[in-house]
């Protein structure tokens, strides 16, 4: 590494590294249905763990790890952070681990019924992620940082309500060598990865964000690109792009916008760095015994009898975002669908009855913030709804704010009050498959408050 001498506050030190984390064929892909045993039949493109370490002119460092998995849990985060901290000068809380949330990759966090955790595979990803971060630290070289953004509309839609809110901001952080050669490009956008789900149902894939990475790196030889997933709890690609002949267009559009931003991005003149990380408590609502028993009665009945009558009007009403489409995952069989849904209902209610009275009625979760000069990053572990992310943007005065969800844990969906009131898939089913209590109408506001608070800490003190 070439250390920043301190002669210019506009210089940083940046290093990148990557490891391939493609799973073997016996490891389940996560998401898209219950108890599908969806092991891969082919590799469309390799999953990766891509690290970027940035050291500022004040000697402080931050790191991003972009990971092509559905979720990672707290044990995963702690293991990687602690291993990296032992081999570098980075503090554990200065490392952000962000999941792309690909549904064509495994999960490293509990998600009932939608992908078994393979512990051997997860341990290998921990080791490879650690290696990537340490190598990125070791390879740091002097660089100039710049930042830019664009509004990329027309690609996504809010799947929870007609004309619902969207965060269409594409944010880009670029590192260039002292002679202007691009070294690293981190881009932050907000959408589930749904371009190739149906066409590549049993394939390992990064989906559209992997295509963006590849196109950026092809256009900028020698540069490393990494995707930072954002506020996507209620957002997917528009229907015309999902597993259609137009499924390659989102990646082409986003890559094109990134490549427009890179040469014209604003240089960050004062590259001092600060980071902060803290735990916040989010309110939840304890399940009632009546709710649990109602789901259990229906699930046990259907499991024993195979009864499929009116199956979409009861427990399965919000089993997925589009429950009427679920039988497609089971070869068109409603019987197989109801059997899987009933199994889920029996298992979750059994666990809920054993713990619902004793568990605390709040959830502790980490929020994190980085500052690079006048550029801001806030991170949380939720699938946050767009209205909440936009509220955080509205409340934060900084122009350049990167918003990263799916980071440093696996909280599941965090819906806004609108969805909590209607007891939607995100509000009512997500806590069942993540093993948590449902959020309340105030939970989203508590998260926004926590993000603003941790951002304020890096603005004023920068202390971990």
**3 state SS of 338:** helix
Q: What is the pLDDT of residues 204-217, one digit of tens each?
A: 999 999 999 999 99
pLDDT score of 288 more than 70: yes
Distance CA 125, CA 120 (A): 9
Please tell me the least confidently modeled range out of 4-13, 321-330, 344-353.
Answer: 4-13
Residue 166 pLDDT class (50, 70, 90 cuts): very high
Tell me the domain boundaries of the chain. 11-280+363-460, 289-351
What pLDDT was estimated at residue 461?
58
Residue 6 pLDDT class (50, 70, 90 cuts): very low
pLDDT score of 1 more than 70: no
Q: What is the pLDDT of residues 243-283, one digit of tens each?
A: 999 999 999 999 999 999 999 999 999 999 999 999 999 99
What pLDDT was estimated at residue 460?
78
What pLDDT was estimated at residue 446?
98
| β-pair partners for 364 | 281
| β-pair partners for 444 | none
Q: Once rounded to an integer, what is the mean pLDDT over residues 421-444?
A: 96
| β-pair partners for 13 | 55, 142
What pLDDT was estimated at residue 9?
83
**Contact (Cβ atoms closer than 8 angstroms) between residue 407 and residue 380:** yes
Beta-strand ranges (E) seen in 200-287 are: 203-204, 224-229, 235-237, 266-267, 273-283
Q: What is the pLDDT of residues 122-155, one digit of tens each?
A: 999 999 999 999 999 999 999 999 999 999 999 9
For 264, other C-beta atoms within 10 Å of its C-beta total 8
> Strands 203-204 and 95-99: what pairing?
unpaired
Whether this model's pTM surpasses 0.85: yes
**Contact (Cβ atoms closer than 8 angstroms) between residue 447 and residue 388:** yes
What pLDDT was estimated at residue 8?
62
pLDDT score of 103 more than 80: yes
Distance CA 112, CA 43 (A): 25
Q: Once rounded to an integer, what is the mean pLDDT over residues 388-416?
A: 97
Q: 């990167």: which residue's tokens?
A: 402
Mean pLDDT of all residues in the chain? 95
Q: What is the pLDDT of residues 47-72, one digit of tens each?
A: 999 999 999 999 999 999 999 999 99
| Helical (H) or strand (E) element with 375 | strand 375-380
């Amino acid at each position: 590494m070439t250390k920043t001498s301190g002669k210019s506050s506009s210089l940083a030190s940046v290093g990148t590294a990557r490891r391939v984390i493609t799973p073997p064929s016996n490891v389940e892909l996560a998401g898209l249905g219950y108890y599908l045993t969806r092991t891969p039949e082919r590799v469309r493109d390799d999953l990766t763990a891509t690290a970027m370490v940035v050291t500022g002119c004040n000697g402080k460092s931050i790191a991003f790890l972009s990971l092509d998995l559905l979720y990672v849990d707290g044990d995963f985060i702690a293991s990687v952070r602690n291993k990296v901290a032992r081999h570098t000068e980075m503090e554990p809380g200065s490392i952000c681990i962000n999941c792309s949330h690909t549904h064509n990759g495994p999960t490293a966090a509990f998600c009932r019924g939608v992908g078994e955790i393979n512990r051997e595979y997860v341990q290998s990803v921990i080791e490879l992620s650690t290696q990537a971060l340490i190598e990125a630290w070791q390879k740091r070289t002097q660089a100039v940082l710049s930042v830019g953004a664009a509004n990329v509309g027309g690609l996504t839609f809010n799947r929870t309500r007609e004309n619902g809110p969207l965060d269409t901001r594409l944010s880009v952080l670029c590192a260039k060598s002292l002679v202007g050669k691009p070294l690293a490009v981190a881009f932050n956008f907000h959408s589930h990865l749904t371009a190739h789900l149906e066409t590549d149902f049993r394939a390992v894939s990064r989906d559209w964000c992997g295509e963006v990475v590849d196109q950026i790196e092809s256009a900028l030889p020698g540069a490393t690109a990494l995707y930072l997933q954002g506020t996507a709890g209620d957002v997917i690609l528009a229907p015309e792009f999902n597993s259609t002949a137009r499924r390659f267009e989102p990646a082409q559009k986003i890559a094109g916008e990134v490549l427009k931003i890179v040469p014209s991005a604003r240089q960050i003149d004062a590259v001092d760095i600060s980071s902060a990380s803290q735990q916040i408590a989010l309110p939840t609502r304890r399940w009632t015994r009546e709710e649990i028993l109602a789901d259990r009665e229906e699930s046990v009945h259907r499991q024993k009898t195979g009864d499929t009558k009116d199956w979409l009007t009861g427990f399965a009403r919000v089993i997925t975002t589009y429950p009427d489409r679920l039988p497609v995952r089971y070869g068109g069989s409603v019987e197989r669908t109801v059997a899987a849904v009933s199994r889920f209902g029996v298992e979750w209610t059994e666990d809920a009855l054993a713990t619902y009275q004793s568990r605390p009625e709040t959830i502790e979760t980490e929020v994190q913030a980085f500052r690079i000069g006048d550029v801001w990053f806030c991170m949380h572990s939720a699938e946050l709804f767009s209205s909440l992310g936009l509220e955080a943007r509205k409340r934060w005065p900084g122009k350049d704010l990167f918003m990263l969800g799916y980071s440093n844990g696996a909280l599941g969906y965090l819906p806004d009050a609108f969805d909590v009131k209607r007891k939607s898939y995100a509000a009512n089913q997500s806590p069942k498959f993540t093993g948590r209590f449902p959020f309340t109408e105030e939970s989203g506001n508590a998260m926004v408050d926590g993000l603003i608070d941790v951002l304020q800490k890096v603005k004023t003190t920068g202390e971990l």
